[in-house]
A = this chain, B = another copy of it.
Amino acid sequence: MARPRTPILSKPAIRAAALALIDREGLEWLSMRKLAQELDVQAASLYSHYRTKEELLGEVADEVTSRIDVSGFDGGDWREGIGSWARSYRAALAEHPNLVPVVAAGPGRRDEALRRADVVQGALVRAGWPPRYATMIGASAKYLVVGAATQSFARGFADDVWVYRDRYPNLSQAHRLSEHAAEIDQASFDLALEAFLDGLARVFERVRATSAG
């Protein structure tokens, strides 16, 4: 039975299986052969649907990041817009931590990503930011989100600090990382985002004053 009357595989099914394996086993563990095995198929069959592993991973990343919400800009409040956008971005990545390197390395050349970037750019300009600033602010917010997803204490750092606590008194006194890693991750991101937005509000006043004068 070389070909059943109804196809076994489909792009959505392949993506779903890939994401589930990445979530469960990790990004490095995934291979086209193992993915095929999970789908009861030969590795070569996958290439009838995706031209490369890279293309497949790119579309998996697209699917995950498509849940990013830019509707917070609708109200016309740029601060609320950036804040809710960044938080939904972070939430999307936090649901699939093992996929983060793919999203981070992703070219961002996807249609959906450009559409969202366009929304952000347009909303910021309408709110009164100069286009150049709008671009920089969109980039900066992404720095925070991607940096937070990548550097998460919950993924690796925690245990070692505890081990070395005698040698680094300031660290051991400070945070008890291994117990509260996820909570500190969240609080650090919230602090960074709030501080960033507070600081931007001051820049906004300065920029408006000079462009009006």
A residues with a Cβ closer than 8 A to B are: 101, 104-105, 107-109, 114-115, 117-119, 121-122, 125, 131-137, 139-140, 142-148, 150-151, 153, 156-157, 160-161, 164, 167-171, 173-175, 177, 184-185, 187-189, 191-192, 194-200, 202-203
- CB distance B192 to A143 under 8 Å? yes
A158 nearest CB across to chain B (Å): 10
CB-CB under 8 A for A151 and B156, given A125-B174, A200-B195: no
| Cross-chain pairs A/B with CB under 8 angstroms, 13 sampled | A101-B101, A104-B104, A108-B156, A122-B170, A132-B175, A136-B184, A136-B188, A139-B151, A140-B191, A143-B189, A143-B192, A144-B192, A146-B147
State the number of copies, please: 2
Which residues on B sit within 8 Å (CB–CB) of A117? 168, 171
A26 nearest CB across to chain B (Å): 12
A24 nearest CB across to chain B (Å): 19
A156 nearest CB across to chain B (Å): 4
In the complex, A189→B133 CA distance in Å?
Answer: 12
CB-CB under 8 A for A161 and B192, given A105-B150, A136-B187: no
- CB distance A157 to B107 under 8 Å? yes
CB-CB under 8 A for A164 and B114, given A151-B143, A157-B108: yes
A33 nearest CB across to chain B (Å): 19
A94 nearest CB across to chain B (Å): 14
In the complex, A156→B107 CA distance in Å?
Answer: 5
In the complex, A196→B131 CA distance in Å?
Answer: 20
- CB distance A140 to B188 under 8 Å? yes
- CB distance A168 to B198 under 8 Å? no
Known: A146-B147, A198-B203. 9 other contacts (CB 8 A): A119-B170, A125-B174, A137-B188, A137-B191, A139-B184, A139-B185, A142-B151, A194-B199, A197-B199
